[in-house]
Amino acid sequence: MADSTLPGSADVWACADAVRRGGPLVHNVTNYVAMDLSANALLAVGASPAMVHAHEEVVDFALLADALVVNIGTLSPNWVESMRLAVRAATDRGIPWVLDPVAAGATSYRTQVGAELLAHRPTVVRGNASEILSLAGMTGRGKGVDATDESGDALEAAVALAQVTGGVVAVTGDVDVVTDRRRTAHVAGGHPLMARVTAMGCAASAVVGAYAAAVADPLMATASALAVFGLAGERAATGAVGPGTLRWRLLDELYALEQSTVLAGTRIS
Ligand SMILES: Nc1ncnc2c1ncn2[C@@H]1O[C@H](COP(=O)(O)OP(=O)(O)OP(=O)(O)O)[C@@H](O)[C@H]1O
Ligand SMILES: Cc1ncsc1CCO
Ligand SMILES: [Mg+2]
């Protein structure tokens, strides 16, 4: 292991167990495409999801939640105001919050909203390589919501963003790269078929929110959440005939994941 402070397999299991025992309530202001998979992934890992965004209730709900996940996937001015209200309430209370900057770089509106939210210093930013490169002002070459860059090529961008937020930045892809500047974890796992199911990354961000609620160290929480998600995805892909089976098998694997599997399968360096 490159850095002894990085989570090991026993830590990942302890985090997964903490989520199952604590059952955190995760408030999501997320996109229409991601709502179903994110909510089901949260339930499968033992958390409680709620998708709440009306201006009339978003602050009240943020006061009840253990973590907030903000995802700009299907944004509009009305939704952006919901995000602002929720983030303000979450940061006032000091609960962890996760930003998923979907398709940042694809349009100037997305890049601008991503930058505005970033300035509120999310506990964790989780995006694909093209999104993280774009947010950092480097040339991300996304294809809409999909990445065309490699996660390993976005490490410098991730570190630059972590400098801005003071938090954790995670770049998912072939290998998931997670940094808080001081520590950088490379989380291996997952399967290429995962990129063929829409909103997989959004669901990963939601699960990161649950782990950040249950685990005090955001780097530990994020790397553990992505290790569990990757492990479940990898196992789900074994025997999946395509994206459809992978999607439901992933939920089953997240739900059924056992200590022995996590201890044997975690690969963080
Ligand atoms: N080539 C790959 N090999 C292994 N795992 C992968 C691969 N591509 C994606 N994944 C996994 O799939 C999950 C989603 O990551 P991805 O980077 O595709 O998110 P995303 O582009 O934000 O997705 P979306 O916008 O559809 O929500 C992560 O757990 C990631 O590790
Ligand atoms: C396909 C799609 N379009 C906007 S959000 C979303 C879900 C994957 O990010
Ligand atoms: Mg995404």
ipTM for this model: 0.98
Residue carrying the six token digits 């480097």: 138
CA–centroid distance, residue 4 to ligand 3 (Å): 30
Give the pLDDT confidence score for residue 4 in this predicted structure.
56
Give the pLDDT confidence score for residue 3 in this predicted structure.
54
CA–centroid distance, residue 247 to ligand 3 (Å): 16
Best probe residue, ligand 1, of 98, 128, 132, 143 (max atoms within 8 Å of C-beta): 128
Work out which ligand 2 atom sits closest to the CA atom of 145: 9
pTM for the model stands at 0.98
Ligand 1 pocket by C-beta < 6 Å: which residues?
Answer: 102, 128, 145-147, 172-174, 176, 190-192, 194-195, 198-202, 204, 226, 229-230, 233
CATH superfamily of 9-268: Ribokinase (3.40.1190.20)
Give the pLDDT confidence score for residue 1 in this predicted structure.
38
Distance CA 97, CA 87 (A): 8
CA–centroid distance, residue 153 to ligand 1 (Å): 15
CA–centroid distance, residue 5 to ligand 2 (Å): 35
Q: Which strands, in side-by-side order, build the sheet including 67-71? A: 48-51, 25-29, 67-71, 97-100, 124-128, 168-172, 176-179, 184-188, 267-268
Ranges of the chain whose pLDDT falls below 50: 1-2
Give the pLDDT confidence score for residue 121 in this predicted structure.
98
Type of residue numbered 169: V
| 126 has binding-site annotation | yes
Work out which ligand 2 atom sits closest to the CA atom of 100: 9
Task: List helix spans (H) across the chain.
Answer: 9-22, 35-45, 58-62, 77-93, 108-118, 129-135, 155-165, 200-214, 218-237, 243-256, 259-265
Residue nearest ligand 2's atom 7 by CA: 199
Best probe residue, ligand 1, of 38, 71, 200 (max atoms within 8 Å of C-beta): 200
| 249 has binding-site annotation | no
Six token digits for residue 253: 């694997």
Distance CA 146, CA 149 (A): 9
Give the pLDDT confidence score for residue 139 in this predicted structure.
80
Domain residue spans in the chain? 9-268
CA–centroid distance, residue 92 to ligand 1 (Å): 31
